[in-house]
Amino acid sequence: MFSQISRRNFVAGALASLGDFAFLRQLPPVSGAEVKVTPEMVQFHPDTEPLVRLVEETERNKLLEVIADKIRHGTSYSQVLAAILLAGVRNIQPRPVGFEFHAVLVVNSAHLAALAAPDTDRWMPLFWALDNFKSSQAIKANKGGWKMPALENGKLPPGAHARKRFIDAMEDWNEDGSDRAIAALVRHAGASEVIELFWRYGARDFRDIGHKAIYVANAWRTLQTVGWRHAEPVMRSLAFALLEHKENGNPAKLDAEPDRPWRENLQRASAIRADWFQGEIRSQATTDLLATLRAATPAEASQKIVHFLNNQVHPASLWDALFLTAGELLMRQPGIVGLHCVTSTNALHYGYQTSANDETRRLLLLQTAAFLCMFRQAMLGRGKLREDLKLDTLESAEVQAKGPQALEEIFTDLGSDRLLAARKTLALLENKTLDPEQMMIQARRLLFSKGRDSHDYKFTSAALEDFYQTTGSWRNRYLATSMFNLRGATEPDNGLVHRTKAALRA
């Protein structure tokens, strides 16, 4: 279906300039940038350092040509992906965990978009991520700049003590201690042992509207592709990010609101029955929890999770309600906080799926419920939430067009009426006249050509992935909410497409 749609000149030619990104095949050769090394700055593996330096030092308006030439001469996809990640962690301070640091946070989202893209489009997300890094690098440079410093090996704790030292430092919010300890731990422990600790610390507080959990998930997922040998600088950056706070005083000695749900949920987790993962899929439990989350406090929401689990409800039914709540909040107040409801839930659920520790998995489920209530409270501080929009009762709307044109109609509607587009999406999915995969393909291609910032990539990758994490008919309603933040067909192409075409014609 998509190959037919992409050839159609719909929306007054809105997608005509998108084509199949065939211009990416026109990769002109250019010379590389000089590689310089300074001992005060953290160094990467000898086979990686030159490419990272190339990304760091090449001017933004030349970088795509330079990297294209490297690809033509044998540089692999994973090498480029690693270079973007490592350039980010070395050059962009992860404080706050957001803003310019999205150049790092979004690397995995770009990778996921590339994996799901047709072969002809696969380099577009990485080219976008390269350009995005250069933008963030320039902003940080104007603010004074920052470089990750090298560590003095003689000051690292012994490998046998590294785990305890890291836990102690993180519990005490000790930045210097955690930096040394995590470097030693990465050098001496296995990857699974290291990341188990981070699933917990990424979810323990609500600062930075979920970006801490997002960073944990995205760092781990990118390292699964580029290799754990690159983990030390990434884990150092991650530990530093997770200790970010704005309170006067040590959070370990305070009772700050962002920390309270975690401390309470540590107690609640122990009250959940031992065989909590065995239960029944109950649609009514999903509906009931969704209703609870519209008004509950973080404590009430977490306690409701405990109640359902102890009453033999399968956790999948509870995750359905959490995903639906995230989408509904975006629907009720589209914008920056709403979209982070979706991306944070995606990250917390990924940790839940990946962790091998039973207590950690319980905590991630409880924390997701608490976080969504805190998101709702944050959104109320920005304005009203639409009370008339409830996802479980959202009504479908008739689509005028038939066949492939129906999909075109929906993405055109995004430019003027996102609610209508969502209702039409729901109609096509419920009538089984729309293959959700075709909708996702179209959404990603519009992302490549219309996406403006990191949030477009983060949201699209998270929302489309979580369609498959929901169960049964709830999937259709969840996917319909994505229309409140996907790119529309009538939007202008982003600057990257135009700059890339111009560079490759030169």
Per residue of the chain (506 residues), what is the pLDDT tens digit? 323 333 233 333 333 333 444 444 443 322 223 223 455 679 999 999 999 999 999 999 999 999 988 998 899 999 999 999 999 999 999 999 999 999 999 999 999 999 998 887 788 899 999 999 999 999 999 988 899 999 999 999 999 999 999 999 999 999 999 999 999 999 999 999 999 999 999 999 999 999 999 999 999 999 999 999 999 999 999 999 999 999 999 999 999 999 999 999 999 999 999 999 999 999 999 999 999 999 999 999 999 999 999 999 999 999 999 999 999 999 999 999 999 999 999 999 999 999 999 999 999 999 999 999 999 999 999 999 999 999 999 999 999 999 889 999 999 999 999 999 999 999 999 999 999 999 999 999 999 999 989 999 999 999 999 999 999 999 999 999 999 999 999 999 887 877 665 554 55
Q: How confident is the model at residue 13, as a pLDDT?
A: 36
Cβ atoms 276, 362 nearer than 8 A = yes
CA distance 277 to 280: 10
CA distance 83 to 63: 13
The domain total for the chain is 4
Retrieve residue 52's tokens.
């990272």
Q: Are residues 138 and 177 in the same domain?
A: no
How many CA atoms are closer than 13 Å to the CA of 349, on its beta-carbon side? 25
Retrieve residue 162's tokens.
């590294």
Q: Are residues 33 and 53 in the same domain?
A: yes
Q: Are residues 70 and 38 in the same domain?
A: yes
Q: Are residues 33 and 127 in the same domain?
A: yes
Burial of 160 (0-12, 13-18, 19+ CB in 10 A): exposed
CA dist 327 → 118, 134, 188, 463, 468 (Å): 27, 32, 41, 9, 14
Please calculate the CA angle 230-183-109 and round it to the nearest 5 degrees: 40
Cβ atoms 46, 230 nearer than 8 A = no
Distance of CA 292 to the CA centre of its chain: 26
Q: Are residues 370 and 404 in the same domain?
A: no
How many CB atoms are located within 10 Å of the residue 167 CB? 16
Instruction: Tell me, yes or no, whether 11 lies in a domain.
Output: no
Q: Are residues 48 and 159 in the same domain?
A: no
CA distance 15 to 489: 7
Domain boundary among 97, 117, 142: 142
CA distance 213 to 199: 7
Q: Are residues 264 and 344 in the same domain?
A: yes
Q: How confident is the model at residue 3, as a pLDDT?
A: 32
Retrieve residue 15's tokens.
């997608």
Helix axes 418-430, 474-481, angle to 10 degrees: 160
Q: Are residues 200 and 282 in the same domain?
A: no
3-class secondary-structure state, position 334: coil
Q: How confident is the model at residue 111, as a pLDDT?
A: 96
CA distance 205 to 161: 26
Instruction: Tell me, yes or no, whether 501 lies in a domain.
Output: no
CA distance 93 to 101: 7
DSSP structure class, residue 247: S
Instruction: Tell me, yes or no, whether 7 lies in a domain.
Output: no
CA torsion sign for 354, 359, 365, 369 is negative
Instruction: Tell me, yes or no, whether 502 lies in a domain.
Output: no
Domain boundary among 209, 242, 275: 242
Residue found under tokens 């050839």? 7
CA distance 380 to 436: 32
Instruction: Tell me, yes or no, whether 185 lies in a domain.
Output: yes
Instruction: Tell me, yes or no, whether 9 lies in a domain.
Output: no
Of the candidates 194, 195, 234, the one whose C-alpha atom is nearest the C-alpha of residue 82 is 234
Q: Are residues 132 and 177 in the same domain?
A: no
In this structure, which amino acid lies at residue 268?
R
Find all residues with CB under 8 Å of 321, minimum gap 6, and list them: 285, 286, 287, 288, 289, 290, 293
Q: Are residues 31 and 137 in the same domain?
A: yes
Domain boundary among 96, 113, 142: 142
Q: Are residues 60 and 122 in the same domain?
A: yes
Q: Are residues 358 and 266 in the same domain?
A: yes
CA dist 356 → 195, 197, 275, 373 (Å): 10, 11, 15, 26
How many CB atoms are located within 10 Å of the residue 410 CB? 27
Instruction: Tell me, yes or no, whether 330 lies in a domain.
Output: yes
How many CA atoms are closer than 13 Å to the CA of 389, on its beta-carbon side? 22
CA distance 220 to 224: 6
Q: How confident is the model at residue 497, as a pLDDT?
A: 72
Cβ atoms 329, 396 nearer than 8 A = no
Instruction: Tell me, yes or no, whether 449 lies in a domain.
Output: yes
CA distance 400 to 433: 13
Domain boundaries, position 189: 153-242
Q: How confident is the model at residue 505, as a pLDDT?
A: 52
